[in-house]
């Protein structure tokens, strides 16, 4: 496998076709090998991949992948988990704000109510564990539900912030729209996985 450092040392820019092939190959290897081994230690290491390797390494592999691909779906899950890991207090607060308006999503997302920072971290880890050891479609749907609740929470937060800081309110509104789009992409990926079309 070509790691990002080796790729950077190749003269000229990496061929987009080769970059896509690397993304698909690594994503498939990670998901399918983890499922074949059924080893809890392997699953735990994969859940913590970004912590050990860095988000930039994972981004170098998967960030440019379309949402309707396996590497694209994995990229979205890792970015979501990284946000939860780095700012669990904000995520927990946004979840709390959004959960009343989206109670069905709360059940799917599986977060206790009211959530604390450690609770949202636990759910993010459980979703990624489900990718490698459980039903990938269910894991993607849980992540989508989580994103939808956070989007509602961010929208409520934007409304309250907008009165005192319109620029920040605008950023929060855009963030809410981005979370909704991510939820839709994860739901589409789940549908594709069930149809054996997520590659």
- Is residue 189 situated within a structural domain? yes
Phi, psi of 112 (to 5 degrees): -70, 160
Q: Are 149 and 196 in contact (CB under 8 A)?
A: no
- Is residue 86 situated within a structural domain? yes
CB atoms within 10 A of CB 89: 10
Q: Which two tokens stand for residue 178?
A: 């981005």
Structure confidence at residue 187 (pLDDT): 94
- Is residue 121 situated within a structural domain? yes
Domain count, the chain: 1
- Is residue 128 situated within a structural domain? yes
- Is residue 199 situated within a structural domain? no
Per-residue confidence in pLDDT tens, the chain, 199 aa: 345 555 455 444 557 788 888 889 888 888 887 777 778 888 888 888 888 888 888 888 889 899 999 999 999 999 999 898 899 999 989 988 888 777 666 666 666 666 678 888 888 888 888 888 888 888 898 889 889 989 999 999 898 898 899 999 999 999 999 999 999 999 999 999 999 999 9
3-state secondary structure at position 116: coil
**Domain of 181, in residue numbers:** 4-194
Structure confidence at residue 112 (pLDDT): 64
Alpha helix ranges (H) inside 69-116: 70-86, 88-99, 103-109
CA dihedral 40, 188, 82, 84 (to 10 degrees): -100
């Amino acid at each position: 496998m070509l790691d990002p450092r080796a790729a950077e040392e190749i003269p000229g820019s990496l061929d987009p076709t080769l970059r896509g092939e690397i993304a698909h190959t690594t994503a498939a290897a990670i998901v399918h090998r983890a499922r074949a081994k059924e080893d809890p230690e392997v699953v735990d290491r994969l859940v913590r991949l970004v912590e050990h390797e860095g988000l930039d390494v994972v981004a170098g592999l998967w960030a440019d992948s379309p949402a309707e691909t396996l590497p694209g779906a994995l990229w979205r899950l890792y970015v979501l988990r990284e946000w939860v890991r780095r700012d669990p207090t904000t995520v927990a607060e946004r979840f709390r704000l959004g959960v009343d308006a989206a109670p069905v999503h709360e059940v799917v997302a599986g977060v206790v109510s009211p959530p604390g920072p450690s609770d949202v971290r636990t759910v993010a880890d459980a979703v990624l564990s489900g990718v490698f050891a459980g039903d990938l479609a269910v894991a993607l749907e849980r992540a989508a539900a989580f994103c939808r609740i956070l989007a509602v929470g961010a929208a409520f937060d934007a409304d309250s912030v907008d009165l005192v800081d319109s620029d920040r309110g605008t950023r929060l509104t855009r963030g809410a729209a981005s979370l909704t789009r991510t939820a839709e992409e994860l739901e589409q990926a789940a549908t594709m996985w069930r149809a054996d079309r997520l590659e």
